[in-house]
Homo-oligomer: A and B are copies of this chain.
Amino acid sequence: MSSNKTFAGNFFEDFRIGQVLKHATPRTVTEGDVALYTALYGPRFAINSSDEFARSMGLPRAPVDDILAFHMVFGKTVPDVSLNAVANLGYANGKFGVPVYPGDTLATTSTVTGLKQNSSGKTGVVYVNSVGKNQHGQVVLEYTRWVMVNKKDESKPAPEPLTPDLPSAVAAEALLVPPSLKLENYDVTLSGSQFTWGDYDVGEKIDHVDGMTIEEAEHQLATRLYQNTAKVHFDQHAANSGRFKRRLIYGGHIISLARCLSFNGLGNAFRVLAINGGSHANPTFAGDTIYAYSEVLDKIELPSRGVGALRVRLVATKNRPAGDFPYKKDGKYDDAVVLDLDYTLALPR
């Protein structure tokens, strides 16, 4: 007697505009997660590394890395949103709220905000706005992402197409700086970089120099840590008969690697305030070596005392040092480019 209790994920025709998906598996974030994050990527931002440094900034203790919080919030959405995804197409309007501390429990709810069937009739694009909250109901992160999802039954009618209005960048007024933050005692020796907000210019490009080679065990450990269940990351037996013959690396793994590499050149960018947009330009596989560079897109003055924001394009490449800043040719990403992330960072000024 075979059973039907396994959840195969939602298909394109299962989504409807306004649908609210309360995702399963709330997650208490711990010091153990932080240690693994350090082991997986080697972050060196002092605010996340040292309780003492975080206290000198007016925080109760070291918050967890913002991108780790992103992964935890994102991971919850995978079983409902992207188990049958063909591609993770983009991110927009990502706003970080209150910091996440070890001991906090995160849960995510998503709302379907856009649907557009593709002309093939075999797939469609689903837009969801996902909101991650802590156990006090405070928003820690919200963002929109859109994914291409398979239809199960191609005969199902296409929904009325709707594409949500999304800003090209999160507005300055929407950037949240923790109110208790104080930067008078910010120590640029301990932080590891002498460059603060005023030292950066729009248009400046920073080669982050270092490279990091990815092992299968590493990206699998990471992706499971985030309870991200997308099959393509874990099953080599199935991959053997797939398109790439390899396990695909979770795109968020590359975001973390690139962000950590960016320390060398942006060591005082202590907080991610917003994700304005992003795409995973090319797939990555175990054995690839990741490099990164940043380009300053904008400088934003903030009302908070002592804090300025930089809008930055973070580009990651594979198997090619980033010193010549590869990006796009004829509107198409260079083959070496694997991540194009437009985000906004806080620095002391």
**Which positions in A face B, CB cutoff 8 Å?**
1-3, 5-8, 22, 24-28, 30-36, 38-42, 44, 46, 49-53, 62, 79, 102-103, 105, 107, 135, 189-193, 195, 199, 201, 203-213, 215-218, 220-225, 227, 229, 231, 234-238, 247, 264-267, 287, 289, 319-321, 325
Contacts and interface: CB of A to CB of B under 8 A. Distances in A.
Given A26-B190, A44-B24, A207-B2, A35 B225 contact: yes
Contact of A42 (B34, B192, B195, B229): B229
Nearest to A41: B224
Contacts of A223: 42
A222 B40 CA distance: 9
Q: Which of A39, A62, A236 has the most CB of B within 10 A?
A: A39
Nearest to A27: B49
Given A51-B28, A218-B217, A235-B213, A208 B6 contact: yes
Given A26-B53, A215-B217, A236-B289, 6 more contacts: A1-B201, A24-B267, A27-B50, A51-B103, A79-B192, A217-B218
Contact of A35 (B22, B32, B191, B204): B32
Given A211-B231, A217-B215, A39 B36 contact: yes
B289 A237 contact: yes
B1 A204 contact: yes
A32 B30 CA distance: 8
Given A265-B3, A266-B5, A212 B235 contact: yes
Nearest to A318: B237
B25 A192 contact: yes
Contact of A221 (B34, B40, B191): B40
Contacts of A44: 24-25, 227, 229
A266 B6 CA distance: 8
B210 A235 contact: yes
State how many copies of this chain the complex holds.
Answer: 3
Nearest to A323: B2
A224 B30 contact: no
A206 B3 contact: yes
Interchain residue pairs A-B with the least CB separation, the first 4: A32-B35, A24-B192, A42-B224, A237-B289
A39 B236 contact: no
Contact of A105 (B51, B189, B201, B205): B51
A26 B46 CA distance: 7
B3 A50 contact: no
Contacts of A199: 5
A253 B34 CA distance: 21
Nearest to A210: B231
A12 to B, nearest CB: 20
A107 B44 CA distance: 13
7 contacts: A2-B325, A3-B205, A27-B50, A30-B31, A32-B36, A44-B227, A211-B234
A205 B1 contact: yes
A259 B251 CA distance: 27
A215 B213 contact: no
Contacts of A34: 30, 32
